[in-house]
């Protein structure tokens, strides 16, 4: 006796995910290294929306115009520690942005992550000890800063 062909199974409808579930599914940004250079690479306009430090990782939420070409990002430091007006140890960081001649006008939002362990290593190697709270300034804009505690 012949067997009946299997009954096709209809897959269940895919439910719309909640915003929290969608946020969990977004890929975490790739953690990029901190470059030590006296002359930073090209810097196209870029705004910093927010910044935070967790462990050795600095996370910057940025915005810029574009939308048609691949943009490149980086973070550079000149290798010098200075002091704030209040005498706190400070590192001036330059956020690098190469728009690749993107002339499109869409507002692009990106989350960038950078490894700050080089700062900690340099601080220790320059004889300042193993622990500090470094004041980080970005692109010379005073209200765009963060603290890196180690």
pLDDT digits (tens, 9 = 90+) for 68-87: 999 999 999 999 999 999 99
User: Is residue 124 domain-resident?
Assistant: yes
Residue 15 lies in a domain: no
* Domain presence at residue 51: yes
pTM: 0.78
The CATH number of whichever domain residue 59 belongs to comes to: 2.60.40.2370
* Enclosing domain of residue 125: 33-149
pLDDT of residue 94: 93
Q: What is the pLDDT of residue 143?
A: 78
Residue 145 located in a structural domain: yes
Give alpha helix (H) positions in the chain.
19-25, 117-125
* 3-state DSSP assignment of residue 11: coil
Q: Within a domain: residue 4?
A: no
Asked whether residue 115 is domain-assigned, the answer is: yes
> Buried (b) or exposed (e) across 8-22, using 16+ Cβ within 10 A?
eeeeeeeeeeeeeee
Q: For residue 55, give the DSSP letter.
A: T
Residue 11 lies in a domain: no
User: Which residues, given as ranges, of the chain have pLDDT below 50?
Assistant: 12, 14-25
Number of domains observed in the structure of the chain: 1
Provide the percentage of residues in the chain whose pLDDT is more than 70: 81
How many of the other CB atoms lie within 10 Å of CB of 138?
Answer: 21
């Amino acid at each position: 006796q012949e067997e009946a062909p299997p009954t096709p199974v209809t897959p269940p409808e895919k439910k719309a995910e909640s915003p929290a579930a969608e946020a969990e599914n977004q890929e975490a940004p790739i953690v990029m290294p901190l470059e030590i250079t006296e002359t930073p690479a090209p810097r196209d306009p870029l705004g910093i929306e927010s910044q935070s430090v967790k462990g050795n990782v600095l996370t910057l939420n940025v915005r810029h115009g574009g939308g048609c070409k691949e943009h490149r990002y980086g973070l550079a430091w000149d290798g010098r520690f200075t002091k704030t007006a209040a005498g706190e140890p400070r590192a001036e960081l330059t956020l690098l942005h190469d728009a690749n001649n993107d002339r499109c006008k869409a507002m692009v939002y990106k989350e960038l992550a950078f490894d700050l362990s080089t700062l900690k290593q340099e601080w220790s190697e320059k004889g300042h000890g193993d622990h500090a709270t470094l004041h980080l300034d970005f692109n010379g804009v005073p209200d765009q800063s963060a603290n890196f505690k180690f």
